[in-house]
Amino acid sequence: MTQPKRKLRSSEWFGGDGKNAFMHRSWMKNQGLPDHVFDGRPVIGICNTWSELTPCNAHLRGIAEHVKRGVYEAGGVPFEFPVMSLGESNMRPTAMLFRNLASMDVEESIRSNPMDGVVLLVGCDKTTPALLMGAASANLPTIAVSGGPMLNGKFRGQDIGSGTHVWKFAEDVKAGRMVVSDFLAAEQGQSRSAGSCMTMGTASTMASMVEALGIGMPDNAAIPAVDARRGVLAHMAGRRIVDLVNDDVTISQILTKEAFENAIRVNGAIGGSTNAVLHLIAIARRIGVELNLDDWDRLGRAVPTIVDLMPSGRFLMEDFYYAGGLSTVMAALDEAGLLHRDAITVSGKTVGAIIENAPNYNEEVIRPFNNPLTKEGGIAVLRGNLAPSGAVIKPSAATPELMQHRGKAVVFENIEHYYERIDDPELDIDASSVMVLKNCGPRGYPGMAEVGNMPLPAKLLKQGVSDMVRISDARMSGTAYGTVVLHVAPEAAAGGVLALVRDGDFIELDVAGRRLELMVSDEELALRRAEWLPPIPPQGGYPSLYVERVMQADTGCDFDFLVGRRDAGIPRHSH
């Protein structure tokens, strides 16, 4: 057996002949474990977000079995443990409300238990950042294994994408282009295997971020959940985590500034979700890496989107895997000089070694750099009097003609107000209007709902209008699209200028110039501010803690008291 470079943390629980070691070992032995399990081999925690209420992660107990095989094979001993699971499709008011809570569960589960390294089993959108944030603060050797995407959705001869086709079909029904019975018939075909959304939504984006950051194994992003190679990947992750423990390679040695820079560029190239902006900044701040909105804008500018996947493009994750997956994309970035090749990864290889000679099997799915899907693929960060701390837009999901636009605001005070007004035939709105939604930010909603891609009014859809400028302090589902300005900071509920916008105000959006301006004088804004009343905060329970301590979108919506590393160390024993 390879000897660990330093004394194992788990030996503080299981080593020796004293009363404490007796107690720790004895209780564990009720699971049928022999003596040699506690002979000083690395103890690996498998942090599982399995839940039948998180359909995208419902297969993760099977993945855990593969990880265990690898751990045993490499001379370690695995223990699977559950943490709070965040299912995007079911959780209300929004899974994002619980990301920080789950991260606390992860961090404290790691710190309080006898483990030397941890494998994070993630999948559905928020499970990835929540587990990475918690593990980053604990700073043990760590590998993330994503559950993988579902197989391509199928409906009457065409491929349909998770989320993206829900939005599309719902609009078709609203516009009278599709009957409800057809709409319902698409349900089963959209989600036809285990796995997460198979569009380049937030789950696939975050699985790609895991791979790009080097905290996951090669091919983590794209192998379908039900492909046997996902099991192989999990098995190999089990082997590698034991090596990382033996070599004392902690998560902070992998998640460096260079790793984040690689990930941001990869996000541009894959046309990844705007949610990644929040999550990567939050993870970086946990580990102590300086990362901000300007990094996103600066690093993404030169990066075209070359992956032709929904919601921006045509294909789905299964096609992406068969075309070569993320290594092919990273090889293209490397060729353009846009990658830190020397960044180390949990696989034991550098990024450069992994992507060497990565083939491209389908240039329609992963397009060449000189024939991209969108020239400007990164996330654009906008500033101006309407968003002094920043707002974001995903140019690859927007309509080019609308990226420079001046229009009259149609204001919705909150999401209920939007639903009340949007299909009112009297609503004074046309294709040139700018839809503004307030009070859906981290404190306002609370939890920062994915409602920023407000569906257009039925009367305009029927006229054939397919996109309009929309602005809010909300987030947008990674599976959605449109000229949608999101994450306005400070948010309305925190007294941002967004709170002061009124119907009929002119707003100017200039994506190329990175500007977002409300054309109202400072004097008038001061008068409006004097009349503004903050919303009543939630009374009691977790939501009141959330609203009190959550930070704004530009710093990743973490709790102020969770920023930074609190290495797991060895807690005092209690017996």
The residue (of 88 and 295) whose beta carbon lies closer to ligand FES is 88
The residue (of 47 and 124) whose beta carbon lies closer to ligand FES is 124
The residue (of 90 and 158) whose beta carbon lies closer to ligand FES is 90
Task: Determine the residue type at 351.
Answer: V
| Among the residue ranges 194-202, 218-226, 361-369, 510-518, the one whose residues contact ligand FES (CB under 6 A) | 194-202
- Tokens representing residue 455 in the block: 């569906």
Q: To the nearest whole angstrom, how small is the minimum distance from the Cβ of residue 124 to ligand FES? A: 3
Asked if 201 touches ligand FES (CB under 6 A), the answer is yes
Asked if 89 touches ligand FES (CB under 6 A), the answer is yes
Residue 112-151 contact track with ligand FES, rule CB under 6 A, x = bound: ------------xx--------------------------
- Tokens representing residue 136 in the block: 């980053």
* Binding residue for ligand FES, selected from 196, 345, 347, 555, defined by CB under 6 A: 196
Asked if 318 touches ligand FES (CB under 6 A), the answer is no
- Contact between 565 and 139 (Cβ < 8 Å): yes
Q: Which long-range contacts (CB under 8 A, 24 or more apart) does 279-283 make?
A: 279/128, 279/129, 279/132, 279/206, 279/209, 279/556, 280/209, 280/556, 281/554, 281/555, 281/556, 282/129, 282/133, 282/555, 282/556, 282/557, 282/558, 283/129, 283/132, 283/133, 283/136, 283/255, 283/556
* Binding residue for ligand FES, selected from 88, 261, 297, 491, defined by CB under 6 A: 88
* Binding residue for ligand FES, selected from 43, 44, 47, 56, defined by CB under 6 A: 56
The residue (of 4 and 123) whose beta carbon lies closer to ligand FES is 123
165/162 Cα distance (integer angstroms):
6
Asked if 197 touches ligand FES (CB under 6 A), the answer is yes
Asked if 161 touches ligand FES (CB under 6 A), the answer is no
| Among the residue ranges 1-9, 195-203, 486-494, 531-539, the one whose residues contact ligand FES (CB under 6 A) | 195-203
Q: To the nearest whole angstrom, how small is the minimum distance from the Cβ of residue 234 to ligand FES? A: 18
The residue (of 129 and 535) whose beta carbon lies closer to ligand FES is 129
- Contact between 132 and 91 (Cβ < 8 Å): no
Through-space distance between the first and last CA atoms of the chain, rounded to whole angstroms? 31
The residue (of 123 and 535) whose beta carbon lies closer to ligand FES is 123
- Contact between 162 and 153 (Cβ < 8 Å): yes
- Contact between 209 and 120 (Cβ < 8 Å): no
203/196 Cα distance (integer angstroms):
6
**Residue 49: C-alpha distances to residues 52, 86, 140, 195, 282 (Å):** 10, 8, 19, 13, 20
The residue (of 244 and 486) whose beta carbon lies closer to ligand FES is 486
Q: To the nearest whole angstrom, how small is the minimum distance from the Cβ of residue 125 to ligand FES? A: 5
Give the list of residues 6+ apart from residue 131 with CB closer than 8 angstroms, or none: 47, 49, 83, 102, 103, 106, 120, 122, 144
The residue (of 86 and 329) whose beta carbon lies closer to ligand FES is 86
* Interactions with ligand FES, residue window 433-492 (CB under 6 A): none
457/431 Cα distance (integer angstroms):
10
Footprint on this chain of ligand FES (rule: CB under 6 A)? 56, 88-89, 124-125, 162, 196-197, 201, 203
